[in-house]
Amino acid sequence: MFSLPLLAAPSVPLARVLPVLAWMGLPVLAGFLAWQWGLRRRPGGAALAAAATGVLSRAVLVVLTPLLMVVLFWPARIPLSLPLIGLFAHLFGGAVGYGLGRFGRLDRGGRGAFFLCGACSNILSFGGITTLFLVGPHHPGGPDGALSDLALYRVFETPLYFLFAWPVFALFAPRDDNVPRRRGAAFRQAVRPAAMMPVAGIVVGCLLNVSGAPMPAWLAGAAAPLVKLTTLTIGATVGLTLRAASPRRYLGTCLTLAAVKFIIVPAATVSLAWALGIRGPTLAVVMVCAAMPLANFAVVGAAYYRLEEDRVAAVWIFTMALMPLVVSLLAVLVEAGQWGRP
């Protein structure tokens, strides 16, 4: 409700803001309702839901994300600055989250949750759909050009999640648990073929890029449909797996981490990008990517390690609930166009 004044502002085209919010929320709602009103009431419904989420998750990891990475990286210019800026946002967010957890004198699990929530943002699906609708119309390369900038920003995102964020989060398990076994499980999870397929997509796209091979006509313009399909699939997966969580119980955590994700990290990341000479719509892409809610993979990671599941889920719900306000603010800033010349 608090976002209505922003949505009513003349500089914010409602036709651009509402589709972003719909693409973010409706797939999750559909998955949640499928569980609440359908599978939950059927004998063996939990097993069916688990099977469905397994199929959807594998489709995202093995098919949709790798194909999207190939399509985005094949024609892209590959400067070093955008990937490093994206890496900075993840590491800075994780460090700030961990520091605030220590400052708040949280236990090991709480500090781990603060680190994970600070380090993981929903860039691929929610960042992609926001970039597509808000920045795409202003980008000289059109929607595909804006999404290519986003792909460069998140080059290190997938390796960082599976090779760093998840294993580090596992180290915060209570000391009386079998920590060495959890560490081993974390690294085995990191190198599973399914989890590495998105990284393989990036590698293939970059190799095709440097080879100079032309992209087939049937793949040109495929980035936008793939982002939409990926958003639908991930949203439905989260909706099916998300259990009851109480943001009210963790209100202090939610407010603190919302400030990290929507104020501290975006301000630091945009400042770094500006200092490195990034201007124009590409800077707007950086702003959008740095201001996204908690990643779905953070919820998956907490469930995988059975560590701070309720706290992480509460932060996911809370940051998602703030997206009408966040997207409205982003739309105001993008439409204002005060980004300097590219």
- Can you tell me which residue has the tokens 């939610």? 254
Domain boundaries, the chain: 9-214+224-336
241 contact partners, CB below 8 Å, separation of at least 6: 31, 49, 53, 299, 300, 303
249 contact partners, CB below 8 Å, separation of at least 6: 310, 314
Q: What is the pLDDT of residue 116?
A: 95
Q: What is the pLDDT of residue 27?
A: 82
Share of the chain above pLDDT 70, in %: 82
How far apart are alpha carbons 85 and 60 in whole angstroms? 25
Query: Which residues pair with residue 294 across a beta bridge?
Result: 121
Identity of the highest mean pLDDT range in 78-92, 190-204, 229-243? 78-92
Looking at residue 121, the DSSP 8-state letter turns out to be B
Q: What angle do CA 162, 168, 174 make, to 5 degrees?
A: 130
Poorest-pLDDT segment among 182-186, 200-204, 224-228: 182-186
- The three-state secondary structure class of 294 is strand
Confidence of residue 234 (pLDDT cuts 50, 70, 90): confident
How far apart are alpha carbons 152 and 89 in whole angstroms? 13
Q: What is the pLDDT of residue 185?
A: 56
Q: What is the pLDDT of residue 318?
A: 94
Mean pLDDT of 112-129: 91
Q: What is the pLDDT of residue 140?
A: 86
- Confidence check: pLDDT of 166 > 50: yes
Confidence of residue 268 (pLDDT cuts 50, 70, 90): very high
Nearest to 285 by CA among 86, 67, 70: 86
| Element housing 24 (H / E) | helix 14-33
CATH of domain 9-214+224-336: 1.20.1530.20
pTM of the model: 0.75
220 contact partners, CB below 8 Å, separation of at least 6: none
